[in-house]
């Protein structure tokens, strides 16, 4: 299967979808102890807006917090109201991936760097035939060229210094890990619909006392068609 053709078919299929329904779950561990968990049951449609049932638990600096909520947004309000801190967090990371603070953003070199980054990622994606005429896409951080891997790790370290949103205070220590390893897998059915996306990551963290900690995180997105 031609990789470009497959990804094109998947993107066009997903673009034409009017309703997205599924679950998103994520967990983070330090030395085997759970530091945060997040679960979201959602349904988003052009006519019905967005419905989300969210539960989260955080262990931050010895303080444990729990949150549960059910929210509904009209299609016009969901983008501006739903998880502003969450979206800003990842928008900031995306910006840093392509621009350094001491560089002029959006120049030709920066655009070419972003394009080269995308090509490296695309070239590192592996495609295997799955069950029932579907496909499995996989990407491993260890398969990415060392120079690109170094850039990703450096950006993660930079993110530690700017992760000042109070909602993500507990995630700071997950940004400053070393010896990173991460895997992403995408399950696609025979209709070119994304059914599942899984992400796992691990690394090591050294605290101010030079004690080394094992850091692990995992997330899973399931879409129901």
How many residues would you count in the chain?
Answer: 225
Residue 80: its pLDDT value, please? 47
Residue 84: its pLDDT value, please? 43
Residue 156: its pLDDT value, please? 60
- Residue 152 CB contacts under 8 Å (≥ 6 apart), including other chains: 97, 141, 144, 180
58-85 pLDDT tens trace: 987 778 899 999 988 775 554 444 444 4
Rg over alpha carbons for the chain, rounded to the nearest Å, is 19
Collect the ranges in the chain with pLDDT lower than 50.
Answer: 78-94, 96-98, 101-103, 162-167
Going from N- to C-terminal start, the domains of the chain cover: 3-223
How far apart, in whole angstroms, are the C-alpha atoms of residue 7 and residue 204? 33
95-130 pLDDT tens trace: 544 455 444 555 788 788 778 888 888 888 999 998
pTM: 0.75
How far apart, in whole angstroms, are the C-alpha atoms of residue 160 and residue 158? 5
């Amino acid at each position: 299967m031609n990789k470009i053709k497959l990804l094109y078919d998947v993107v066009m299929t997903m673009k034409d979808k009017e309703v997205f329904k599924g679950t998103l779950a994520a967990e983070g561990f330090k030395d085997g102890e759970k530091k945060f968990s997040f679960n979201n049951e959602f349904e988003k449609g052009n006519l019905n807006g967005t419905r989300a049932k969210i539960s989260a638990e955080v262990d931050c600096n010895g303080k444990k917090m729990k949150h549960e909520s059910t929210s509904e947004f009209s299609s016009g309000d969901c983008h501006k109201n739903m998880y502003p801190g969450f979206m800003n967090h990842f928008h900031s990371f995306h910006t840093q991936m392509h621009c350094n603070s001491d560089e002029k953003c959006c120049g030709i070199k920066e655009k070419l760097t972003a394009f080269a980054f995308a090509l490296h990622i695309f070239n590192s994606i592996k495609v295997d035939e799955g069950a029932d005429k579907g496909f499995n896409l996989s990407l491993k951080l260890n398969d990415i060229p060392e120079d690109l891997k170094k850039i990703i790790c450096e950006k993660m370290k930079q993110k530690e210094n700017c992760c000042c949103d109070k909602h993500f205070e507990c995630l700071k220590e997950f940004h400053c890990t070393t010896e990173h390893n991460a895997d992403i897998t995408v399950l696609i059915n025979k209709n070119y619909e994304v059914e599942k996306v899984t992400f796992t990551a691990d690394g090591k963290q050294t605290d101010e006392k030079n004690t080394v900690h094992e850091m692990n995180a995992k997330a899973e997105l399931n879409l129901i068609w």
